[in-house]
Chain A
Amino acid sequence: MLKLNNLCKVYQTEEVETTALDNINIDIEKGEFVAIMGPSGCGKSTLLNIIGMLDSPTSGEYHFLGDEIAHANEKQLANIRKKNIGFIFQSFNLIEELTVFENVELALLYNDVPSKERKERVTRVLDKVGIAHRAKHMPSQLSGGQQQRVAVARALVAEPAMILADEPTGNLDRAQGEEVMDMLKKLNEEGSTIIMVTHSPSHADYARRTINLFDGQVVTEMYRAAE
């Protein structure tokens, strides 16, 4: 699915140069569930953002579905992104001015899906994450767990090949967190490739493979046997 070769990300300010990612080499196959772990500031989110094409690497190669895209421009990236990747964020990132339904619909809207089909697909996916009864509510009227479910629905609705989750449970309590993790696991079993950044070892246990980062470098990789 994707392959990172000698990937580096360097942030430069006037005085200091910070290396966020240092020579990363990762290979992720279709259908994998990967957890990225590490202490704060180790570069987890930076790595996920680059994988998600929200940011570009300073050097190195990034092959996505066989194409080298490390140096693609924003327009090309946006095209690949909207067809293949769904995002789930720690802070949900729902648009406050739109209803639950409209938030989910957004992903299809920008993919030029006709209105009737959009409606069917949004309804189906809201049903799937169990939030259909809240379709007409505004995000601010929902609990954190419910908001994250909406975010998951939004990530799913365009049926992406890969879902990226940046600490999806970070802002949730334990019960809500587990609910979301169960949902991700189920999605993976249905065939979605999932890459997740997390602080929580117990949530990382849901993944088949865990990558540990420290100071921008891959320290260890661990595979779990299928249950």
Chain B
Amino acid sequence: MFKNYLLIALRNLKRNRIYSLINICGLAIGLAVFIFAAILTQYEKSHDIFFENAARIYTLGSVLSPQANYSVKEFDGVYTAIAPLLEAEATDIEATARIVQDEYLLTLGERGFYQKIKFADKALLKIFDFEYLAGDTSALDDPLGIALTETIAKKYFPAGNAMGKVISLNFHSKIDLRVTAVIRDIPRNSHFISSLIKDNPLEVIASLNALKQMDEFKLEGNWDNITTGDLTYVLLPSHLDGQWLEQQANDVFQRHASDDVKKFISGVKSRRLQDMNLVLWDAVGLPIITVVMGLGLMVLIIAGLNYTNLATAQAMDRAKEVGLRKTLGAKIGQLLIQFLVESVMITFIALLVALAMLEIIIPVFNDRFGKILSLDYFSLLPPLVIITFLIGLIAGAYPAYVITRVKPVDALKESLSKGLKRSLVRSAMIGAQFVFSVFLLAMVAVVTIQNEKIMKSSEIFPKSQIVTLQKTWVGDIPTRHDTLKREITALSGVENMTFSSQVPFIQQNWTFDASKNSGDIAGKVNLNRIMVEYDFLKTYDIPLIAGRDFSQEFANDMEKKESTVLNVIINETALKKLGFKSLHDALNKSFYQIFRDNEDGKKSRAYVIVGVMKDQNFLGLHNSIKPIVLRVHSQYYETASIRIKGKEFSATMREIERIWKKINPDYPIQVEYLDDIFNHMFKIYKSINIALAGFTVMALTLAFIGLFGLAAFMAAGRTKEIGIRKVMGAKTHQIVTLLIWQFSLPVLLALQVALPLSYFASDAYLNFFADRIESPIVMITGSGLVAVILSWLIVLTHAIRVSSRKPIHALRYE
């Protein structure tokens, strides 16, 4: 009996090749997308598990207080002061280790490299069992010892044997570091490598003691700043968990943090090591894993509905077979089993196709995105087989039920009941597919337009003309800033050049407190400061709306450590925030710094507003416009911005490099284009868009494949009616209208659900952006319209074919 079922199933597949193909492809696409989403989320959730202590390692993060008014909800790290306090007060903790990372110039004889270094407490090597190719966990016991990864060791010491070699770190003075360990490269699925926030893979580990010797760090840590990427790790004994740790860490925080700190940070949060690589998404409040899984599931449901719908339509053709089997004594149960066997068989064929697709897609994806996803059949197959089996049962249940209900006499006569042709259930299934498709399409449209907006508003700065030179504060470079600027600006291809502490799109907020009236602590406001040089406004095309630009003619324009009166330029937001009523009211007036506990020299300082610049979004992207105060301060010239004019871009760049080499022969030039700086942050939004677009293309393809197949079946089901109408004199366009209307109803109803849904979802997404699209309604209705028109076109192709045939084809009944 079972063999007979399989045989019939196979023959049916062969007989209806087109529909079988549509069925299997649709289901395969759905399964492939779902499996991919599952593998991806599993991969992202299982980072770092290869460390022996993974389950016992936690990191501490900071939750921002609501009044901090910051663009993110939390930081991935905590103040460096917390770890030593925690270790002293919560004695059950096995170990803590902090990492402070920064980029320094390393020299080996003649060669120099800018290298990102992770300075760590030596316990880091106890917490993480790195694989040692040379040396051991005592590598950081020597304050000047460093551990290199295999790749970096090969880069610095191509001849081999890095152990014991000396590398100089150039800071104010040279410090000689000694290689005490070489570790194997960290696998890609570790937060040490794949963090989205900063491109700083773990390559060199040094001791925090070295940083202390450089006077850049105190071992007891500080309560001054939290730097993204500087993490605090805690190793717990196996009987304690993250909740306990969070409690302990919060107790320490509450006992030791000052009120000012508590105003900014409301508490400490513990996070499992496994969750660390997703910390960025936590920070922006986007549950990316849930979203990806949700989208994958959505596509699978669409594929399932699609399959059910087509299978039901196809089952109508089988009415005669069912009737015959019933006449020959088949029981309903037996028929149900037959159809379910068929359905399950098709889903398994689809599974095979899906796995074949993934075998192709995953290597491409890995290559493109630097991940190491894999199809691990051993662990994947059992759940997949179960899921596929269930899909086969669920998706096949409805068509099986419908077809086996047919009365044998009706089935044999092939005059199918009305219910089979136009069922509510099937219209509802088309509707559901469209709800998902329109929703996804609308979201893509909204994300795309919002990205466009970010992109466009970034163009207030002459982004593509600006080249930045980084690390202009290193070593004795600052003593030659003037020479550098003089020679570079003399180049014919250079329009302007300026130094500054920060360039647009760098996500940094350096702030200070000030108030309109001297000493008015209650009325203090938080202002962003950017340290600049004289030509800053000109280089960046920032328009002044009142007052004057900075000039060397005014001594008070240049800030010195002891300045008590300083001329500044502020933006409109700062002006309002400080409480000035108008430009006129503010110009040449002063406001006063309120010094924080940690700011040395608690003296008074007045800032005189000599210019007001137009509000521009200096941080760009999702940020709101910050109150900005520009101050000329040569100690903070960390970056040089050069504006290049004309078409001789590369020639000018070569000249700039030549000048740099001549003036700063000991330091490699660090060029970064402003465009790239912007794109580095922008790629996060872009990748959201790409991912969403990928899912949408899949969903829409499925929905339209389904509609295409269904339209064919429905038109076939109405062949006779169409024939009669034609004999009665109906014109082609009247028949086409009739058929299109049949599909329009579920599609239009679907819009009623999809449009409001998209509205709320996109509104929630847009709220993340300070400078958001006013209303997503145009994009959403546009998406609805696109879906409707596309579905009409698909139905139209069938309708025209059917209705332009000679009526006799439709009426032949013998």
A89:B729 contact, CB within 8 angstroms: no
A23 interface residue (CB < 8 Å to B) = no
Instruction: Out of A45, A54, A55, A111, name the residue touching B729 (CB < 8 Å).
Output: A111
B804:A49 contact, CB within 8 angstroms: no
A26 interface residue (CB < 8 Å to B) = no
Instruction: Out of A45, A91, A106, A111, name the residue touching B725 (CB < 8 Å).
Output: A106
Number of A positions contacting B (CB below 8 A): 27
A91:B813 contact, CB within 8 angstroms: yes
Instruction: Out of A45, A82, A90, name the residue touching B728 (CB < 8 Å).
Output: A82
Instruction: Out of B720, B725, B806, name the residue touching A110 (CB < 8 Å).
Output: B725
A110:B724 contact, CB within 8 angstroms: no
Would you give 25 A-B contacts (Cβ < 8 Å), ordered by A? A49-B808, A52-B727, A54-B727, A54-B806, A54-B807, A55-B808, A78-B726, A81-B727, A81-B729, A82-B728, A87-B727, A93-B724, A94-B724, A95-B725, A96-B721, A97-B721, A106-B725, A106-B728, A107-B728, A109-B728, A110-B728, A110-B729, A110-B730, A110-B731, A110-B734
Instruction: Enumerate the 3 nearest inter-chain pairs by beta-carbon distance, A residue then B residue, closest first.
Output: A82-B729, A110-B729, A54-B808
Q: Name which residue of chain B comes closest to A140, CB basis.
A: B418
Number of B positions contacting A (CB below 8 A): 21
- 1/0 contact string of A78-121 vs chain B (CB within 8 Å): 10011000010111011111000000001101110000000000
- Chain B residues, Cβ within 8 Å of A110: 725, 728-731, 734
B811 interface residue (CB < 8 Å to A) = yes
B733 to chain A, nearest CB (A): 11
- Chain A residues, Cβ within 8 Å of B732: 75
A56 interface residue (CB < 8 Å to B) = yes
Q: Name which residue of chain A comes closest to B725, CB basis.
A: A106
Report Cα–Cα, A70/B720, bound state, in Å: 25
- Chain B residues, Cβ within 8 Å of A52: 727
A74:B804 contact, CB within 8 angstroms: yes
Q: Name which residue of chain B comes closest to A55, CB basis.
A: B808
A154 interface residue (CB < 8 Å to B) = yes
A151 to chain B, nearest CB (A): 10
- Chain A residues, Cβ within 8 Å of B804: 74
Report Cα–Cα, A82/B725, bound state, in Å: 11
Q: Name which residue of chain A comes closest to B805, CB basis.
A: A74
User: Which of B804, B808, B814 has the largest number of chain A CB atoms within 10 A?
Assistant: B808
Instruction: Out of B721, B731, B734, B806, name the residue touching A95 (CB < 8 Å).
Output: B721
Interface residue ranges of B717-747 to A (CB < 8 Å): 720-721, 723-732, 734
A78:B724 contact, CB within 8 angstroms: no
Report Cα–Cα, A143/B529, bound state, in Å: 92
Report Cα–Cα, A163/B355, bound state, in Å: 62
Report Cα–Cα, A56/B807, bound state, in Å: 11
B532 to chain A, nearest CB (A): 77
Interface residue ranges of B780-814 to A (CB < 8 Å): 804, 806-808, 811, 813-814
Given contacts A110-B731, A110-B734, contact A56 B806 (CB under 8 A): yes
B739 to chain A, nearest CB (A): 14
B811:A78 contact, CB within 8 angstroms: no
Q: Name which residue of chain B comes closest to A91, CB basis.
A: B813
B811:A89 contact, CB within 8 angstroms: yes
Report Cα–Cα, A108/B424, bound state, in Å: 31
Report Cα–Cα, A14/B159, bound state, in Å: 78
- Chain B residues, Cβ within 8 Å of A106: 724-725, 728
Report Cα–Cα, A177/B807, bound state, in Å: 26
Q: Name which residue of chain B comes closest to A107, CB basis.
A: B728
Report Cα–Cα, A74/B810, bound state, in Å: 14
A191 to chain B, nearest CB (A): 22
A100 to chain B, nearest CB (A): 14
- Chain B residues, Cβ within 8 Å of A154: 728
Report Cα–Cα, A109/B724, bound state, in Å: 13
Report Cα–Cα, A49/B806, bound state, in Å: 11
A20 to chain B, nearest CB (A): 12
Report Cα–Cα, A158/B728, bound state, in Å: 9
Interface residue ranges of B134-157 to A (CB < 8 Å): none
Report Cα–Cα, A188/B571, bound state, in Å: 97
- Chain B residues, Cβ within 8 Å of A89: 811
- Chain A residues, Cβ within 8 Å of B808: 49, 54-55
Instruction: Out of A55, A90, A91, A107, name the residue touching B806 (CB < 8 Å).
Output: A55
Given contacts A78-B729, A82-B728, A107-B729, contact A93 B806 (CB under 8 A): no
Interface residue ranges of A139-196 to B (CB < 8 Å): 154, 158
Given contacts A54-B811, A55-B808, A74-B806, contact A93 B731 (CB under 8 A): no
- Chain B residues, Cβ within 8 Å of A87: 727
- Chain A residues, Cβ within 8 Å of B807: 54
- 1/0 contact string of B413-425 vs chain A (CB within 8 Å): 0000010000000
A97:B727 contact, CB within 8 angstroms: no
- Chain B residues, Cβ within 8 Å of A81: 727, 729
Report Cα–Cα, A91/B725, bound state, in Å: 15
User: Which of B727, B731, B804, B814 has the largest number of chain A CB atoms within 10 A?
Assistant: B727
Report Cα–Cα, A81/B726, bound state, in Å: 10
B131 to chain A, nearest CB (A): 71
Q: Name which residue of chain A comes closest to B724, CB basis.
A: A93
Q: Name which residue of chain B comes closest to A138, CB basis.
A: B418
Q: Name which residue of chain A comes closest to B723, CB basis.
A: A93
User: Which of B724, B729, B806, B813 has the largest number of chain A CB atoms within 10 A?
Assistant: B729
B410 to chain A, nearest CB (A): 12
B729:A93 contact, CB within 8 angstroms: no
Report Cα–Cα, A74/B731, bound state, in Å: 10
Report Cα–Cα, A189/B696, bound state, in Å: 67
- Chain B residues, Cβ within 8 Å of A95: 721, 724-725
Given contacts A49-B808, A110-B730, contact A97 B724 (CB under 8 A): no
Report Cα–Cα, A96/B724, bound state, in Å: 11
User: Which of A54, A106, A107 has the largest number of chain B CB atoms within 10 A?
Assistant: A54
A96:B729 contact, CB within 8 angstroms: no
- Chain B residues, Cβ within 8 Å of A54: 727, 806-808, 811
A171 to chain B, nearest CB (A): 11
A80 to chain B, nearest CB (A): 10
B451 to chain A, nearest CB (A): 49
A44 to chain B, nearest CB (A): 11
Report Cα–Cα, A78/B732, bound state, in Å: 10
Report Cα–Cα, A99/B37, bound state, in Å: 52
Report Cα–Cα, A96/B814, bound state, in Å: 19
- Chain B residues, Cβ within 8 Å of A90: 813
- Chain B residues, Cβ within 8 Å of A158: 729
Given A56-B806, A90-B813, A158-B729, 18 more A-B residue pairs with CB atoms under 8 Å apart are A45-B814, A54-B811, A74-B804, A74-B806, A75-B731, A78-B726, A78-B731, A82-B728, A89-B811, A93-B724, A93-B727, A94-B724, A95-B725, A107-B728, A109-B728, A110-B729, A110-B731, A110-B734
User: Which of B721, B724, B732, B804 has the largest number of chain A CB atoms within 10 A?
Assistant: B724
A166 to chain B, nearest CB (A): 9
Q: Name which residue of chain B comes closest to A78, CB basis.
A: B729
- 1/0 contact string of B744-767 vs chain A (CB within 8 Å): 000000000000000000000000
A132 to chain B, nearest CB (A): 20
